[in-house]
Amino acid sequence: MAVRKSAKTPAKTTSKKPKPDTGWISELDCYLFGAGTHYDIYQKLGAHPMNWKGEDGIFFAVWAPHAAAVHLVGDFNGWNPDANPMKKISQLGIWEYFNPGMRVGELYKFAITTDTGKILYKADPFAFSAEYRPGTASVTADISGFAWSDHEWIAARSHTDMAKRPISIYEVHLGSWRKKDREEKDGCYTYIEAAHELAAYVREMGYTHVELMGIAEHPYDGSWGYQVTGYFAPTSRYGTPKEFMYFVNYLHKNGIGVILDWVPAHFPKDAHGLADFDGHPLYEYEDPKKGEHPDWGTRVFDYGKNEVKDFLISNALYWVEQYHVDGLRVDAVASMLYLDYGRQEGQWTPNRYGGNQNLEAIEFFKHLNTVVQGRNHGVMMIAEESTAWPGVTKHPQQDGLGFTFKWNMGWMHDFLEYMKLDPYFRKYSHNRMTFSLTYFTSENYILVLSHDEVVHLKCSMINKMPGLGEDKFSNLKAGYTFMLGHPGKKLLFMGQDFGQWHEWDEKKALDWYLADKDSHRSLQKYVRDLLHLYKKYPCLYSLDHDWNGFQWINANDGDRSIFSFIRRDETGKKSLLFVINFTPVPRPDYRVGVPKKCKYTLLLDQEHGAYKASQCPTYTSAKGECDGQPYSIAYPLGAYGTAIFRF
């Protein structure tokens, strides 16, 4: 073990709870942890500044039941694996140690002696902070005492039914959103710098939430944060835990919610991480047919082990309750639900009924979602579930998994396959755009165009579009308009709103200079107009999984590749009519059926974007059957034309 320089802070730690004579870890703590119901176990395991018998220091506790011995190592003892032995205090295998004089900001690890005599140097699974890569040590931290000022936001959230609220998510990778011209930490923005600029951009554009990739500590940039080694540590790439608290607090004060990507599906095999933590499989399944992801080269959490479930549930609660985040987007849910996910015949072990469902993971999700949302009303649990698993967003009492929302991966696939087609051939794939409207009420969906769709030679969103020059931008405007009108919450990855040409690269900042060029600026303004319109009209979000909120006018105009439909709110009085032309053929004599005799006010079209309130053109319906409706309006629909009418 190489000796590192200490990152000490000059000030003493803030005194916290005194350590009782009976031990910091009580019998009740051990019982609850062993039962999988100690939802605040992170307040006991890990590293905690405190005053014990008049001395300031750090109290350490770690779960390592197979270990023959555990020692605390760090700069304070020259990383000597024999100097500071920890004491085993329970049958569960919890070891504890109080280190007087140790301060916040110091590096440490656990030197775990296995039952074969080998010494493993492991980072703290419950550490609140971690060393900046490529270092792998944990860092003592005090996360208490932050002056939160988002009380109104949290109070309002607790009384909100998110299914009936507008949710438009801006998915962000902080390390590549923008960069500073400096060498320190690869020029990445700090949490505080990002808070100010990101909040300003998100407010201007009209997004309601940001979703952050890669916040939990991870060793490899190329994993984008999906191979985690520090589940309780905001990554040191962008700053300290309290600076991340500042980030969340600042966005809340600006009316913006914060969602984190969360990865309970698997973890990497890095030597300092969770894999074979005490010399044996501990956090992962012991059976390699369940405990290994062959495609990803990672380990799978053991969802049947109470202590592991407790680790994960308490971690979810930690981000929600200690950092005030508004939701967790749970990555790779399908890989958890299916025992044969990514495995060939003979590589997986069936469940006790002979099926491929992971019964332990199913029960884990029900437990997780019930606890997190039960303790934190209004917090969203979002599933990235790529199959047709039933009841993902149904309550566990209805045999559902209990998620708030599910990513609509089927819609995403069909939408992109349609949009990539030459407009001439779209008439042969018309059903790709209508199929999702046959099942949109089955779950609470989020329509996603995420980072996964603009990497690995998949092309950027603008480069997926057919044609040259302005045709690409016109296609994308039409596509985004359809996405806005389609039932479901919305998510766009950064760069998609101004037409980033290059595929996303986590090592490089977005090409923000493009937003100053005419075509890109026009696309960005158009997306901004759509997002602000979305928040203004409840018919676009209040009945997202209810047939009363959607009506086709014409779903069958495949020959012309035109779609027309209506969105309604709960009152039925403020409705919007959408008309979208997915070909470059203008239709100057276009007529669309409408349900009522009244004036139809044009709010937005592809050429102008959103009209000013005083300048909106109006069209009066004429009696006469059209598209199965008793009335119609005539409107000159342009090439790749879009139109949204209020009536």
Q: Which residue numbers are catalytic?
A: 331, 384
The amino acid present at 290, given as its one-letter code, is: K
For 213-273, list the strands marked E by DSSP.
216-217, 230-234, 257-262
Q: CB-based contacts of 334: which residues, under 8 Å, 6+ apart?
A: 341, 384, 385, 386, 387, 389
Q: CB-based contacts of 11: which residues, under 8 Å, 6+ apart?
A: none
Q: How far is CA 310 from the centre of its chain?
A: 21
- For 521, list phi and psi in degrees, rounded to 5: -65, -40
The Cα 376–Cα 373 span in angstroms is 5
How many C-alpha atoms does 241 have within 13 Å on its Cβ side? 26
The Cα 275–Cα 266 span in angstroms is 10
Q: CB-based contacts of 340: which residues, under 8 Å, 6+ apart?
A: 347, 348, 356
Report CA-CA distances (Å) from 617 to 591, 600, 646.
16, 8, 11
Q: DSSP assignment, residue 189?
A: P
Torsion sign across C-alpha atoms 300, 306, 308, 311: positive
Inter-axis angle of helices 191-205 and 518-536, nearest 10: 80
The Cα 313–Cα 117 span in angstroms is 33
3-state DSSP helix/strand/coil percent for the chain, to nearest 5?
30, 25, 45
The Cα 450–Cα 407 span in angstroms is 10
Listed residue (406, 404, 405) closest to 388, CA to CA:
406
The amino acid present at 288, given as its one-letter code, is: P
The Cα 287–Cα 300 span in angstroms is 10
Residue pair 504/176 in contact by the 8 Å Cβ criterion: yes
The Cα 605–Cα 200 span in angstroms is 26
